[in-house]
Amino acid sequence: MRQIALMVKKKEIDLNDIVPIIRLKKIIDRFDLSEEKVEEFIEGIKIHCFGKEIKVKEFIPKLDRILNLLANIELPIEEIPEYIEEAQKEKNRLDKEIEKNKKLINKIIERYNFTKDYLERYQADWSLQDTIKKLQQKIEKKDKIIQLLNKRNFVLEKLIELDDRTVLEKELEEANKEFAEDQHEQIEV
């Protein structure tokens, strides 16, 4: 305390500089940590940042962001190594599966003498298949409409032929009225 008082008196240290130190000391004590462990942790961060060529003041917000992400996916920080190990195993499994599929594709290409150009044309044709199907459906609909119109046209033609040879009842009644006036015999159906 005397040394601090002397430093303050000599104006080597400002009281405002002491307040954060006291607060930090209280936090360290509250978590039951030693100053040495906190120093080791900070030195570890410093070494890590040096190796990755990152500034410590840029690293701390990134670390905070990682902790927030972990909280959002509900993954405790102590489970990160296991999570990374499982993810690495899954990645390795998928890499093996991809490699296996590549070999299978190469075998198929060799067996059937496919070329890259042929496959690209096939893929382009594949994308056109959907368009072709849609156009075929439209054509089928149009064909049905044409068939219906042809049937209707046929019926209309037959009606016209019949109309030439037959007389409708109304026309017959009107003709009978006229004949009755002229005193002719009525026409029977």
pLDDT the model gives residue 70: 78
Residue that finishes a domain, picked among 48, 75, 102: 75
Q: Is residue 67 part of a domain?
A: yes
Count: domains in the chain: 2
pLDDT at residue 165 tops 60: no
Q: Is residue 109 part of a domain?
A: no
What distance in Å separates the CA atoms of residue 18 and residue 4, rounded to the nearest whole number? 9
Q: Is residue 95 part of a domain?
A: no
Q: Is residue 138 part of a domain?
A: yes
Q: What is the pTM of this model?
A: 0.38
Sign of CA dihedral 82, 87, 90, 91: negative
pLDDT at residue 33 tops 80: yes
Q: Is residue 90 part of a domain?
A: no
Tokens 């849609």 -> residue? 134
Q: How many CB atoms lie within 10 A of CB 186?
A: 11
pLDDT at residue 61 tops 70: yes
The identity of residue 127, as a single letter, is S
Q: Averaging pLDDT over each range in 1-5, 109-113, 142-146, 177-181, which range is the top one?
A: 142-146
Q: Is residue 12 part of a domain?
A: yes
pLDDT bracket for residue 150 (50, 70, 90): confident
Q: Averaging pLDDT over each range in 34-43, 125-134, 136-145, which range is the top one?
A: 34-43
Q: Is residue 31 part of a domain?
A: yes
Residue that finishes a domain, picked among 75, 102, 120: 75
pLDDT the model gives residue 43: 93
What distance in Å separates the CA atoms of residue 21 and residue 29, rounded to the nearest whole number? 12
pLDDT bracket for residue 99 (50, 70, 90): very high
Q: Is residue 142 part of a domain?
A: yes
What distance in Å separates the CA atoms of residue 187 and residue 76, rounded to the nearest whole number? 106
Residue that finishes a domain, picked among 75, 101, 116: 75
Query: What is the three-class DSSP state of 75?
Result: coil
Domain interval for residue 6: 2-75
